[in-house]
């Protein structure tokens, strides 16, 4: 049996074990995916070799810290500055980032990226993946962050514009992507932006998937704006991990359905 794992802290809330195990079962692969709440990432990475774990997902707060523990890191993960996937090939551990790819695939299923402008709210790890994804497909990212210095640093690194979040009312763009945790369960009545500016954007994307319809997305829907939740990104980033680990195409629609079933029925069907 092949063993795959999730390293993070905390991991109790994660839907990755459910999604991955469902996928392996459907694919007929004899494998288990297990979540570990990690205290010491360096020792945990040593355990990958010691226990012959085939692949590991990395989540908060270790996506950057884990990089120095690996034998190699691919170009995308290096540029983003975060690893969410480790593959173990004969004891050689290589880091990848599938967050940007998950977002890129999800976006491209719904809109053209090339030539369009994307306001990215936030300047953390997911914002970095979002900026990378947009630029990779020749879109134009604009960073808006609460801490203006952090947004400025990210913008300088990627060669794009950045502003303080309060300037959002002066900005129009084809798409707004929220990468802040504002609106995530249990703070489901919070939105990172005021309602009256939503119509300045052609569509609204939230990387949060719990709840599926965040306050931001509910407001956008009321304003007649097309919306996309973080569920598609979540499924595709996990599917891309499975592809790296097994070389096989995973059942993405089935994985999405399994996660949807677990999320609250109220989330699935509306208010
Ligand atoms: P992070 O590195 O901690 O960055 C969070 C960013 O949000 C920071 O720029 C921070 O601004 C901003 N922020 C936090 N609280 C805020 C508030 N109250 N008002 C305004 N801005 C605020 O976090 P992350 O790892 O990027 O994760 C962000 C979200 O993405 C989480 O909800 C996570 O679950 C989600 N995510 C989803 C997927 C998926 O597959 N769908 C994958 C990865 C992550 P400052 O710089 O001012 O502190």
Are residue 239 and residue 216 in the same domain, yes or no? Answer: no
If asked whether residues 129 and 185 sit together in one domain, one would say yes
Q: How far apart are CA 153 and CA 123, in angstroms?
A: 9
Pairing of β 72-73 and β 31-37: unpaired
Does residue 106 fall inside a structural domain? no
Ligand 1 geometric centre to CA of 127 (Å): 8
Quick one: which of 217, 158, 146 has its CA closest to 184?
A: 217
What's the CA-to-centroid distance between 114 and ligand 1, angstroms? 25
List pLDDT tens digits, range 98-149: 999 999 999 999 999 999 999 999 999 999 999 999 999 999 999 999 999 9
Q: Would you say residue 182 lies in a domain?
A: yes
Whether 221 and 236 map to the same domain: the answer is no
Residue 30 CA to chain centroid, in angstroms?
A: 27
The span from the CA of 91 to the CA of 102, in Å, is 27
CA distances for 225 relative to 66, 174, 209, angstroms: 38, 11, 18
Contacts (Cβ under 8 Å, ≥6 apart) of 89: none
CATH number for the domain that contains residue 192: 3.40.50.720
Predicted confidence pLDDT, tens digits, the chain (271 residues)? 999 999 999 999 899 999 999 999 999 999 999 999 999 999 999 999 999 999 999 999 999 999 999 999 999 999 999 999 999 999 999 999 999 999 999 999 999 999 999 999 999 999 999 999 999 999 999 999 999 999 999 999 999 999 999 999 999 999 999 999 999 999 999 999 999 999 999 999 999 999 999 999 999 999 999 999 999 999 999 999 999 999 999 999 999 999 999 996 655 434 4
Would you say residue 271 lies in a domain? no
Q: Pocket around ligand 1: residues whose beta carbon is below 6 Å from it? A: 60, 99, 102, 122-127, 145-147, 150, 179-182, 184, 192, 207-209, 230, 233-234, 237
Q: Ligand 1: which atom is nearest the Cα of residue 210?
A: 34
Residue 181 has what pLDDT? 94
**171 domain-assigned:** yes
Contact between residue 255 and residue 23 where contact means Cβ atoms under 8 Å apart: yes
- Whether 115 and 193 map to the same domain: the answer is yes
Ligand 1, from 207, 228, 237, 255: best to mutate by most atoms within 8 Å of Cβ? 207
Look at residue 84 and tell me if it is in a domain: yes
Residue 148, number of CB atoms within 10 A of its CB: 17
Minimal-distance CA residue to ligand 1 atom 7: 180
- Cα(49)–Cα(89) distance, integer angstroms: 9
Look at residue 270 in the predicted model and tell me its pLDDT.
41
Q: Are residues 116 and 92 in the same domain?
A: no
Tokens of 10: 């905390």
Q: Does residue 85 lie in a domain region?
A: yes
- Residues 118, 221, single domain; the answer is yes
Q: Does the global pTM surpass 0.85?
A: yes
pLDDT the model gives residue 213: 95
How many domains, in total, are found in the chain? 2
**In terms of residue numbers, what domain contains 47?**
2-97+232-263
Q: Residues 222, 271: contact at Cβ < 8 Å?
A: no
Q: Residue 219: helix, strand or coil by DSSP?
A: helix
Q: Is residue 102 part of a domain?
A: no
Q: Are residues 217 and 236 in the same domain?
A: no
The pLDDT score that the predictor gives to residue 266 is 57
Vertex 85: Cα angle to 84 and 89 (nearest 5): 160
Same domain, residue pair 88 and 65 = yes
Mutate to test the pocket of ligand 1, among 6, 60, 122, 165 (most ligand atoms within 8 A of CB): 122
Q: Is residue 209 part of a domain?
A: yes
* Predicted pLDDT at 267: 55
Which of 2, 63, 108, 264 is catalytic? The answer is 63
- In DSSP notation, 54-121 reads -EEEE-TT-TTGGGGGSSEE-HHHHHHT---EEEEETTEEEEE--HHHHHHHHHHTTS--TT-EEEEE
The atom number, within ligand 1, closest to the CA of 151 reads 46
130 and 157 share one domain: yes
Q: What is the pLDDT of residue 89?
A: 97
Q: pLDDT value at position 250? A: 98
Q: Are residues 148 and 195 in the same domain?
A: yes
Tell me how far CA of residue 203 lies from CA of 219, 228, 240, in angstroms: 12, 8, 25
* Pair 258, 218 in one domain: no
Active-site residue flag, 63: yes
Q: Which CATH number goes with the domain that contains 37?
A: 3.40.50.10860
Question: d(Cα 156, Cα 151) in Å, to the nearest integer?
Answer: 9
Do 134 and 55 share a structural domain? no
User: What spacing in Å lies between the alpha carbon of 28 and ligand 1's midpoint?
Assistant: 35
């Amino acid at each position: 049996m092949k063993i795959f794992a999730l390293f993070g802290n905390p991991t109790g809330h994660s839907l990755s074990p459910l999604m991955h195990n469902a996928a392996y079962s459907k694919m007929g692969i004899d494998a288990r995916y297990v979540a570990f709440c990690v205290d010491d990432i360096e020792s945990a990475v040593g355990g990958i070799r010691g226990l012959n774990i085939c692949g590991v997902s990395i989540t908060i707060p270790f996506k950057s810290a884990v990089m120095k523990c690996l034998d190699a890191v691919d170009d995308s993960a290096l540029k983003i500055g975060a690893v969410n996937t480790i593959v173990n090939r004969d004891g050689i551990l290589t880091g990848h980032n599938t967050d940007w790819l998950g977002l890129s695939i999800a976006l491209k299923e719904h809109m053209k990226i090339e030539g369009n402008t994307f306001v990215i709210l936030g300047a953390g790890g997911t914002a970095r993946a979002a900026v990378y994804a947009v630029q990779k497909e020749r879109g134009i990212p604009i960073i808006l962050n609460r801490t203006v210095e952090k947004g400025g640093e990210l913008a300088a690194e990627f060669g794009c514009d950045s502003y303080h979040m309060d300037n959002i009312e002066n900005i129009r763009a084809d798409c707004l992507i929220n990468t802040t945790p504002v609106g995530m369960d249990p703070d489901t009545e919070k939105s990172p932006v005021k309602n009256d500016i939503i119509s300045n954007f052609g569509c609204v994307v939230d990387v949060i998937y719990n709840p599926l319809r965040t306050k931001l997305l509910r407001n956008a829907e009321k304003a007649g704006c097309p919306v996309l939740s973080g569920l598609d990104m979540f499924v595709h980033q996990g599917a891309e991990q499975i592809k790296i680990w097994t070389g096989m195409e995973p059942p993405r629609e089935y994985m999405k359905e399994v996660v949807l079933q677990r999320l609250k029925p109220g989330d699935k069907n509306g208010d």
